[in-house]
Amino acid sequence: MGPGDVIPVEETEIKAQGAVLAHLPAAQQPVDLLAATVAHLQPPAAAALVLVFRLLQRRNLPGTLALVATLQALPGAVLPAAAAVPPAPVRLAAASPAPGRVNLQGKQGRYTASVQVPVSAQKAWNVLTNYESMAGVMPDIQQAKVVSRSGRSLELAQIYQAPYTFGQRIKALLRVQETAPSQMSYELISGDRIKKLQGTWTITPVKGGVIVKHQIEVVPEIPGFLIGSYYDLTEANLRQSMQILAKLMLKG
């Protein structure tokens, strides 16, 4: 989309605590994936966030900043300032998770998720490192491809799209280091809208199976007022991913 291109628009009107923002153009693009983000917000804030998201889709940074500043200046602050976003809740987990139950602890982009699975370490490892098969199976991985491999090291290209990406397709190139069948670590080489992404997977044999643990640290490059929602959605995605992974390991 470049200067002078014609953009289909629809007329949108929202009432923001007594103030009326009338006839704001909204790009005709799906925003269904944003539903999870705005579901917990009051209607004015939810509608405002949808408008901001549409402006971001059109890469209209001046318009986005202007709208955010206006909404934050309104009586009652339809959109809170970034500093006012409450931190994500801390979820404490037991040292050894119950079989099949996902435990998640951490906050603000640093998490440890674990699940106990009644399979051998080798079976768990085979599923975990079948990287390309995860595309379309994990809730956020749309594409995955091993770009190169040398011994225990490889480069993995992935594309993420999920509620925590606010509907955007996010590309990432990861450097992966394997120590079969117990540990796999990764770190970001390059990526879209990601400042930092690194983590470690471990598979620990226990009585009756293994404990699969994922330690991750992620720092997104997004507007400050979206940080709280981003981390909430990331936590939900981690839980869902661990549940799916455990089922895949059981199936083998």
CA angle 158–130–237, rounded 5-degree value: 55
103-251: CATH class: alpha beta
pLDDT of residue 54: 60
- pLDDT score at 9: 36
Regions in the chain scoring below 70 on pLDDT: 1-98
At residue 65, the pLDDT reads 55
The CA distance from 243 to 193, in Å, is: 27
Contact 235, 111 (CB under 8 A): yes
Q: Where do the domains of the chain lie?
A: 9-79, 103-251
pLDDT of residue 197: 98
Say whether 243 sits in a helix, a strand or coil.
helix
Give pLDDT, residue 252. Answer: 75
CA–CA separation, 106 and 90 (whole Å): 5
Provide the pLDDT for residue 24: 36
pTM above 0.75, yes or no: no
Q: Using the 8-state DSSP alphabet, how is residue 93 labeled?
A: -
